[in-house]
Chain A
Amino acid sequence: MWGILGGSLPGLSPSIAMALLLPFTYGMDPTPAIVMLAATYVGAEYGGSIPAILIRTPGTNAAAATVVDGYAMKLQGRAGEALGISLYSGLVGGLFGLGVVVLLAQPLSTVALAFTPSAYFALGVLGLTVIASLARESLVKGLMAGAFGLMVSTVGTDPVTGLSRFTFGSPELLSGIPPILVMIGLFAIGELLAQSGERGVRHAVPERPRIRFPGPALWRRIALPQMIGSIIGTFEGMIPGGGGAVSSFLAYNEARRWSRHKEEFGHGSPEGIAAPEAANNTVACTALVPILSLGIPSSNSSAVLLGGFLLHGLIPGPMLFVSHSDVVTGLFAGLLAANIAMVIVGYLMMGPCMWLVSRPRPYLTAFIYALVVSGVYSIETSLFHVGVALAFGVVGYALRYFEVPLLPMVLGVVLGFMVESNYRRSLVLSGGDHLTFLQDRVSAGLLIAAALILLGSAAHHLVAARKRRAAGVPT
């Protein structure tokens, strides 16, 4: 419950929710303490989808991909269905990830070790290719948004030399612009500005505030995207620096590629929610692989979990399975219980959440604004950040006016630092030789995959543009 609450409040990340709980674990036995932290992570990864669906504000970075189809379903009066798909897919992804951890933690740790800076750079490039498919009707505008996002990611301290870039002398910008600020600004504040500026505001179709789990027909339809999301989440979760955001976008993209209902994506597709949500919750479990087997945290949240291990005198790594096998077994059992509890608690919370968003629109808008400014301030107790979020709200509003997709910009911000820092680190290690990206097998494989995805997306856009011209639709 704590995790779901922390994940659903924009600005609070899973790592903050876990860190807030850490002091309370001091007096506990190691096993329940670690289980509580891990369960918080699981709950928070799901919790981020609640505001993403209901108020177009991702609660966590990883929930950004859920905003697209989740909020569209909400506007169609299908918020209950969207929440049900999200919850069910989170359960599927969590159980899949748990199975992977239990059966394959030690063998899969070698995958984590295979990732060099070149491979990370190639992984980032692969993630960026998703921009091409997120760009929808206008590839050029989508790529421009992606370029804006990459530019935003360069603000702060240079990863190699330590020089400050684009900070204008502001100490608050030295650590860069957190991606969650950009997302909250573009999605939430941009939406608030758009709704305030439009007469005859589009109102969501009223619906009874009830969560609805998928029926048999929908189970079958979302089974493939859930599997896609789970597999992608498995590999992303165990790679240090991988994380939920990258996996959710990749899962969304692949689910669309293999879907028989591609045209529904972006307009309320159940598969567009199932894939990223399954990926998120798989990541929450498989992030344990590098911690348990190597003692290496793969994300901020798993770093807090590592802190929990150390606090209780446990040294994560290969010997943990031997010297504290009871803790490891207890952790696995606790995660199983946490995934099931997530469904129960999530179901119980949905009614009040949906009642809240069914309130009269003026009050709803005001409370969302209050939630956003409070949540953004909570990131680093900084009013400067609130100002930055407002500025991105203006950017989000402008992008809506010019009909530019928002997700490519988000991808650029999320992946920009990973791409640049690993690109330059690779060149330092290779003495400036660019062939290193092809000599590293993992890197070469990922770059080839990225090239194929780009070529496929470009061909698809050309064909679609030709069809629109033939039909007399302006491009």
Chain B
Amino acid sequence: MELIIPTINLSAICPEIVIMVFALIILLLQSFLPIKSKGYFAYVCFTGILLASVLVIYLPSAFDMQFVESSFSGMWVVDNYSRFFKLIFLLGSGLTTLISVNYVANEKIQHGEFFSLILFATLGMMIMASGADLVVIFLGLELMSISLYVLCGCTRTRTISNESALKYFLLGSFATGFLLYGIALLYGATGTTSLKGLSEIVSKTGSQGHIEIMGMALLVIGFGFKIASVPFHMWTPDVYQGAPSPITAFMSAGPKAAAFAAFARVFVMALPSLQGEWVGLVWILAVLTMTVGNIIALVQENIKRMLAYSSIAHTGYILVAFLSAGELGIASILYYLLAYTLMNIGAFALITVLAGKGEERITVQDYSGIGYKNPVAAIAMSLFLFSLAGIPPTAGFMGKFYIFSAAIKEGYLGLAIIGVINSVISVYYYLRVTVAMYMKVPETTTESQFPAIVFSPALILAIIISAYGVLRLGLFPSDYIAIVKQSFLALQ
């Protein structure tokens, strides 16, 4: 038997190597450095992320139309689509790192583990975005998920955090099983796991291939779990509520984007010929996801839980774009995920700091009067919430506008109408927070029990970056739209 050595093109995985090296460096330093200097791990982590971002942007010549580079026997592809997603992940993990600086110290979490796991999770997402083969995508997904399971439980002494980790792990493994079964069925039917190969073979059998359709349906379940779409969303509220706030921020942005990256790549690149089969399925998922997410969010008292349901609803909006997967559709997914990353992490940054030590202040009532005690924080929070609600001139509005125009262009008028009605429903629960912040008087008796709020410079930087991004994407979106449009061309 002849052994084929694949072409190894290290430049294609350069950013991934950087992330991995930094993750390992942090792990090593953790064992050798004295406890005092561990506060610097966050900055080591952040440096790694910055370096990787620079490499993603500049290493293969800057964003141009036709750029596609595949290596490792076609299992790995670097195109504008994957590069844009990688930047979203890196932005998400960079902001999370900034938010975590004080949090990790306050909650006495092991610095080394925490930051290296964030980097490993980021690495997993990047692999998912670049994978052109189901096996590679699966590897990335597992790397990301396992890191996240651990991160959810990293505040060891809090029961709720342990519960969150365990729930996520059990349900997550279950969903991974579905995904793997789907991959196995597709492989069994076609004899290949490469997306290109799949696309060729499946286009011949079309809707006649029952095993392929079965496999496709199982993939929908697997990805549907990771993006938190109804009815595979049951884990989301508990996990989001229990996990440490910075990790919730991280989870709601990065892994969701990564799952969408892989989801869209698999379905648009490999299974377009089965479109007739999955359109109806995803249509129902989209409607359910938007509606259930928004309606349950209306009655939540815990703000993290509320944003968990809101995150489900946002998955629904992105599924609308996913359905209208034409030029506008894919581009709007990218744009929306970027906007969502900025506004959601921004909101969670504020939740992290306003909750105080031990995360005690996390119900909507606890926000009473914050508008006058911390006016700047309240203005920033309002900005992020209005953006999540899709009020102009914010990134959230521009993103929704993009998604709904894609839906209307592709003829999904009914879906667009359901979508906008949902965004009106969502306004109610986002407004509740601003109502509490500005229009309610805090109960003085409970006030003194809460620890003081301390803003660290890193966290302020994270908030400034997110706020700037939210306004920039909302007011002057032209250049970003140009970039996401090019990213779409990569999938053609």
Chain A bound to chain B: no
Residues of B with Cβ closer than 8 Å to A? none
Residues of A with Cβ closer than 8 Å to B? none
